[in-house]
Amino acid sequence: MRAGAGTPKQYRTLAGLPVLRRSVSAFATHDAIGQIVVVIHPDDRGLLADALGSLADRVTIVTGGATRAESVRAGLAAVTDTDAVLIHDAARPLVRATLITRVVAALDDSPGAAPAVPVSDALWRGSNGKVSGALPRAGLFRAQTPQGFHLGAIRFAHAGAPEDAADDVEVALAAGLDVAIVEGDEDNMKITGPGDFTRAARLLKDSDMDIRTGNGFDVHRFGPGASVTLCGVTIPHEAGLVGHSDADVGIHALCDAIYGALAMGDIGRHFPPGDPQWKDAASHVFLAHAAGLARASGFNLTHMDVTLICEAPKIGPHAAAMSAELARIAGLSVERVSVKATTSERLGFTGRGEGIAAMATATLVKT
């Protein structure tokens, strides 16, 4: 094994997280990605569960074949409800959201698209430890993944593909498909040998991280009703909350936190309260928009924290369900979402039972 003996490289830890989890997470947090299929060796199911953690529920697991081509065909057969597919090497854990976006966009005009980096070094031919000649580097590129294709076209191409094809671009070209070259990323390295783990860890540590934190605060008063919706969960209560939408004070504060981290105003800028189309709207629409805007701006939403301030209803019995629902809407793993509650010791409007307040914090990391 080029990466050294022992556990396969995709299941090894890189800067605290398994390589495979980093690769899958890059796609799971991208708003253009739906189904994720992971193709594995049949003996690796135990390693897979540990490597994916909470992301395990986000993927479809498929057993691969004896060759790379067989494994890709198995993965393609499991893909449903899409017109396009991205094929990515799990050993490239540093893939950025912006690169994924470039490949997806290129598929609007081409049946195939793949990232590549132009060859800048001189190229030699060698024999017996000596330089035997030079090669021109003009028009040469170093191939990367993810490689994207129209699903029907790449399935057709793989049906007649040679088993020894180096990658899916070679398969596509053999079938006569055009493949557009999109700008690659020097940091989108493939982990091959033992030294690559050190290099990848250094890239993660030394990269110019843009980490942002946003805060949000919202208030809604009680009014007629028999339930309240908080953080996406409806709870029976002796009153409702008054608002233009469903008055989900927790989600509204969280949206403001995300918009604030992006320096893009507040929820009122994106969903004006005077606009009749948002009358009685479910607030999951707002949170999905805020999370999608973060991803479209090149950020991973890495953590969300909401504090609900009220005397009633009791939040504790519902906090886990609220965390799960916020995670689902925003596309995060549930361990990255916190929902908690406090009272104001019967002081102020919340203490008098006149309404509910919420504070929220969101953390974004530039990809």
pLDDT-above-70 percentage for the chain: 97
Rounded to an integer, the average pLDDT of 264-272 is 93
Distance CA(196)–CA(134), nearest Å, equals 27
pLDDT on residue 1: 42
- The yes-or-no verdict on residue 181 having pLDDT over 50 is yes
Q: Give the pTM.
A: 0.59
Cβ neighbours of 199 (radius 10 Å)? 14
* Domain boundaries defined on the chain: 9-121+140-206, 211-366
- Computed over every residue of the chain, the mean pLDDT equals 93
d(CA 281, CA 92): 41
* Mean pLDDT computed over 51-65: 92
Residue 130 has pLDDT above 50, yes or no: yes
CB of 291 closer than 8 Å to CB of 256: no
Q: To which residue do tokens 């999951």 refer?
A: 284
CATH number of 9-121+140-206: 3.90.550.10
pLDDT at site 271: 93
Per-residue pLDDT band at 164 (split at 50, 70, 90) = confident
Distance of CA 227 to the CA centre of its chain: 33
Same fold? 9-121+140-206, 211-366: no
Tens of pLDDT along 294-326? Answer: 988 889 899 999 999 999 999 999 999 999 999
The pLDDT, as a whole number, for residue 216 is 97
The C-alpha atoms of residue 300 and residue 364 are separated, in whole angstroms, by 6
Q: Where are the alpha helices (DSSP H) in the chain?
A: 19-28, 45-52, 68-77, 97-106, 151-159, 168-174, 194-206, 249-261, 267-270, 284-296, 319-330, 348-351
What's residue 232's pLDDT? 96
* Whole-angstrom distance, CA of residue 69 vs CA of residue 66: 8
Q: How far apart are CA 100 and CA 288, in angstroms?
A: 20
The CATH class of 211-366 is alpha beta
**Is the model's pLDDT at 115 over the cut of 50?**
yes
3-31 pLDDT, tens digit each: 454 689 999 999 888 999 999 999 998 98
